[in-house]
Amino acid sequence: MDAKVVSVEVGGREVVIETGKLARQAHGSVLVRCGGTCVLVTACISDKEEEPLDFVPLTVEYRERAYAAGKIPGGFIKREGKPTDHEILCSRLIDRPIRPLLPKNLNREVQVMALVVSVDDENLPDVLGIIGASCALGLSEIPFDGPIGAVRVGRIGGEFVINPTMSQLDESDLDMVVAGTRHAVVMVEASANEVLEEELIEALKLGHTEIVKLVEVQQRLIEECGRPKIELPTLPDISAYKDYIRSNCLDSLLAAIFVPRKKDRERALAELKQAIISNFDPAEQPLVELAFTEVEREELRKMVLQKGIRADGRGCKDIRPIYCEVGLLPGAHGSALFARGETQALVAATLGMPGEDEQMLDDIYGEVSKSFMVHYNFPPFSTGEVKPLRGPSRREIGHGALAEKALKWVVPAKTEDFPYIVRVVSDILESNGSSSMATVCGGSLALMDAGVPIRRPVAGIAMGLVMDEDSGRYAILSDIIGMEDHLGDMDFKVAGTDKGVTALQMDIKVKGITWDIMREALEQAREGRLYILSKMLEVLPSPRPEISPKAPVIVSLQIKPEFIRDVIGPGGRTIRAIIDKTGTRVYIDESGLVTVSGPSKDAALEAVEIISKIAREYNVGDVVKGRIKRIEDYGIFVEFAPGKEGLLHISQISDRRIRNIKDEFSIGDEIEAKIMEIDELGRFKLTRRGLEGDPKSELDTSSKGIGRAKSTHTTVKAKGMHTTIKSNRLDKRYDKNEH
> Which phi and psi (to 5°) does residue 636 adopt?
-125, 150
Which residues make Cβ contacts (< 8 Å) with residue 471, sequence separation at least 6?
none
**pLDDT for the residue 52:** 65
Cis peptide before 125, with omega less than 30 degrees from 0? Answer: no
Identify which of 193, 161, 147, 198 has the alpha carbon closest to the alpha carbon of residue 174.
Answer: 193
**pLDDT for the residue 705:** 33
Q: CA triplet 380, 386, 392: central angle to 5 degrees?
A: 40
pTM of the entire predicted model: 0.84
Classify the C-alpha dihedral 265-268-274-277 as positive or negative.
negative
Burial 596-625 (b: 16+ CB within 10 A, else e): bbbeebebbbbbbbbbbbbbbebeeebbbb
Looking at 280-404, which runs of residues are DSSP E strands?
322-326, 334-340, 343-352, 359-363, 366-370, 372-377
**Alpha carbon distance 585, 596 (integer Å):** 6
HSE at residue 355, side-chain half, CA atoms within 13 A, is 20
**pLDDT for the residue 727:** 41
Residue spans of alpha helices (H) in 500-600: 515-539, 564-568, 573-582
pLDDT digits (tens, 9 = 90+) for 463-510: 999 998 788 899 999 999 999 998 899 999 999 999 999 999 999 988
**pLDDT for the residue 187:** 96
Tell me the CA distances in angstroms from 22 to 1, 29, 34, 110, 116, one per residue in order: 9, 7, 17, 19, 14
Identify which of 228, 233, 229, 290 has the alpha carbon closest to the alpha carbon of residue 49.
Answer: 233
**pLDDT for the residue 726:** 45
Give me the numbers of helices (H) and strands (E) for the chain, helices first please.
Answer: 15, 31
Residue spans of alpha helices (H) in 571-727: 573-582, 601-614, 661-664
> 235 burial class (0-12, 13-18, 19+ CB within 10 angstroms)?
exposed
- Residue ranges, the chain, pLDDT below 70: 1, 52-53, 416, 692-739
Which residues make Cβ contacts (< 8 Å) with residue 722, sequence separation at least 6?
416, 557, 558, 715, 716
In this structure, the number of other CB atoms found within 10 A of the CB of residue 303 comes to 17
| Cβ 597 vs Cβ 554: under 8 Å | yes
| Cβ 24 vs Cβ 30: under 8 Å | no
**pLDDT for the residue 718:** 38
Residue spans of alpha helices (H) in 107-165: 126-139
What amino acid is encoded at 676 in this protein?
A: M
Which residues make Cβ contacts (< 8 Å) with residue 130, sequence separation at least 6?
93, 94, 97, 98, 148, 149, 150, 177, 179
